[in-house]
Structure 1
């Protein structure tokens, strides 16, 4: 197993060196224009100036889930939710955040329990917006997932106004732990994706939904930006479905 990990990390290292020579970043990096239907459940979290900050996913008629680090330290009145479009300059419906519910055991340093629920004022217009079902099954290495986001194309770049998507496989949990050991610990409530340099997430993709078989299985959480040859690490939704349901129910009582 150590030999397998070493070979994989050698491959990652070669990709990093290749990137230093070429200096190129493709495009969610290395992806494609997201289909319009993805905009029905992928919501953009924005500041009061209308700038995209993070992604999120619609999970009830009045809630989205995102990662905790996107909303920690802010107040609901400074967060706007735009959903119903894959082009932020064309269409979409805007909602006000009413409650920011950050996981009680979220750790900002380790990104453990990096998840939060936002309750909006009122209800989503379900003629234009879709509630995505949460996935309960555990992901396996090699499972295909789709990541969507409005993230930047390069480190410290501006977020995109157009949503992008990318198809990636779930990466080996053990190899990911080893690869990211000098950054943060990859725990069981996280999973990773990786293929090659030039394919992955960037600034502004955090909180964006990761889907498999039309179900929400993850949220973009952390990594070494942007698609430079290291795995991306995500919040594993199956570990938080019960917490989400319990917290959401409280809002309807």
Structure 2
């Protein structure tokens, strides 16, 4: 895969269902160089799936009726073909499925730059909390550089490769936005907005194809939603929608 692509050139992810949004593959996130999660380790984790049970993106439980994700995951999708599965580490089985009542994409989301890449999914039924299913607090504090944060998701653990059967996670330090921009090309640095947050550990670890929208957590709060990265784990920072910047909008939708 070419490291950089023209932003207007979009392709459908091979891991997405037929009604999935059309997106550039380098913008989707999985975990490379991570570890396998244990049962209940990330009870806020959500698998967004099609009506055919095909996982296409990650998400996180906010409360008993709302799931957070990335706008590029949910833009163009329908309620009928978007299901939130909670309470399982398996990408294909287990857990509890919730149909969708409403999808709300950020009104200022830009598909070309991935600005404001955040969305909300309202479930049609109430999410029941258990030891395997719990909400996570939306981060309200601006997080700078050097903070330990953990991202979780399903999918390719190498590229090329196949999607992981079980939930994976990776812990990496956050970067200041200035540092993040300096580590990217000029074109991609322009996509690191003030309302994004970046992480970087080392080359060979990071996000890869398919599970955008998944949570970046620190201190018991979700501080980011996987937005984009240079596929895959090639030594560039991964970029997330910054939850503290979007928190007021997210709360206003619930």
Name the TM-score, length of structure 2 as normaliser: 0.83
Aligned to 1:56: 59
Aligned to 1:81: 84
- Residue 171 of structure 2 is aligned to residue 167 of structure 1: yes
TM-superposed CA distance for 1:168, in Å, is 0.2
Aligned to 2:39: 36
CA distance in 2, matches of 1:246, 1:41: 20
Describe the SS at the equivalent of 1:77.
Answer: helix
Aligned to 1:195: 201
- Describe the superposition over 1:33-70 as per-residue Cα deviations: whole angstroms up to 9, x where unpaired: 11322442100011122121110000011110000000
The equivalent position to 2:215 in structure 1, one of 180, 200, 209, is 209
Aligned to 2:117: 114
Aligned to 1:176: 180
The alignment yields a C-alpha RMSD, in angstroms, of 1.6
- Describe the superposition over 1:204-234 as per-residue Cα deviations: whole angstroms up to 9, x where unpaired: 2310101101111111100111101111011
Number of residue equivalences: 222
TM-superposed CA distance for 1:159, in Å, is 2.5
Q: Which has the higher helix share?
A: 1
After TM superposition, which residue ranges in structure 1, 4 or more long, deviate above 4 angstroms?
A: none
Name the TM-score, length of structure 1 as normaliser: 0.83
CA distance in 1, matches of 2:135, 2:79: 21
- Residue 243 of structure 2 is aligned to residue 237 of structure 1: yes
CA distance in 1, matches of 2:194, 2:207: 20
Describe the SS at the equivalent of 1:240.
Answer: helix
- Please say if residues 208 and 219 of structure 1, whose CA atoms lie closer than 8 Å, have aligned partners that are also in contact: yes
- Please say if residues 52 and 159 of structure 1, whose CA atoms lie closer than 8 Å, have aligned partners that are also in contact: no
- Residue 126 of structure 2 is aligned to residue 123 of structure 1: yes
- Higher gyration radius (CA): 1
CA distance in 1, matches of 2:125, 2:113: 34
TM-superposed CA distance for 1:171, in Å, is 1.7
CA distance in 2, matches of 1:145, 1:205: 17
Aligned to 2:153: 149
- Describe the superposition over 1:149-186 as per-residue Cα deviations: whole angstroms up to 9, x where unpaired: 10212346432220001110002321211333222421
Aligned to 1:99: 102
